[in-house]
Amino acid sequence: MSNESTLVLIKPDGVNRGLIGKVIDRLESTGLKIIGMKLISIDEELASNHYSEHKDKPFFASLVDFITSSPVVALAINGEGAIQKTRTIMGVTNPLDSSPGTIRGDFGLTVEKNIIHGSANEEDAKRELKLYFSDEELIRYERSIDIWTE
Ligand code: IDP
Ligand code: MG
């Protein structure tokens, strides 16, 4: 495992349902570190770019409509194995299949409105972090608890 960074979005359903705090709590409680955070509106260009791997899927237009419908919280998350750890905390894509104890399993109901996005792998994480954060917006800092999480 190595120290790595990943992109998380709290999607419009998470923001509108008042779940920002709960989602951040789940991530932070594991020891993962927030190194970037902002509330933003995603425009169609950013949405299409972010989800370009899905551009030929039948749900693409609906997904772009959904993710641009209302603000999202973008988080840059850092830590040992942060990419896989975040995916594990999120649960699988369809909340009907996600285990209890995961964010999607506990809070989500539909495959589209599934509360949270997290980068799938190292290549996606690098690409997606650049879409949402400039280098200056990623803050490197030491926390006193870091000796317990490394
Ligand atoms: P992931 O978010 O778990 O990585 P992906 O397959 O990359 O899942 O899909 C991206 C997003 O597209 C999902 O989080 C979900 O919001 C939406 N999505 C995926 N599959 C479907 C579907 O079959 N119908 C509607 N929306 C979908
Ligand atoms: Mg994905």
**Is the separation of the CB atoms in 104 and 132 below 8 Å?**
no
pLDDT of residue 97: 98
63 C-beta closer than 6 A to ligand 1: yes
Containing 87, the helix (H) or strand (E) segment is: helix 82-90
pLDDT exceeds cutoff 90 at 149: no
What 3 state SS string does 124-150 have?
Answer: HHHHHHHHHCCHHHCCCCCCHHHHHCC
**Is the separation of the CB atoms in 32 and 82 below 8 Å?**
yes
pLDDT in tens, 93-133: 999 999 999 999 999 999 999 999 999 999 999 999 999 99
110 C-beta closer than 6 A to ligand 1: no
pLDDT of residue 100: 98
Q: Looking at the CA of 57, name the nearest ligand.
A: 1
pLDDT of residue 150: 81
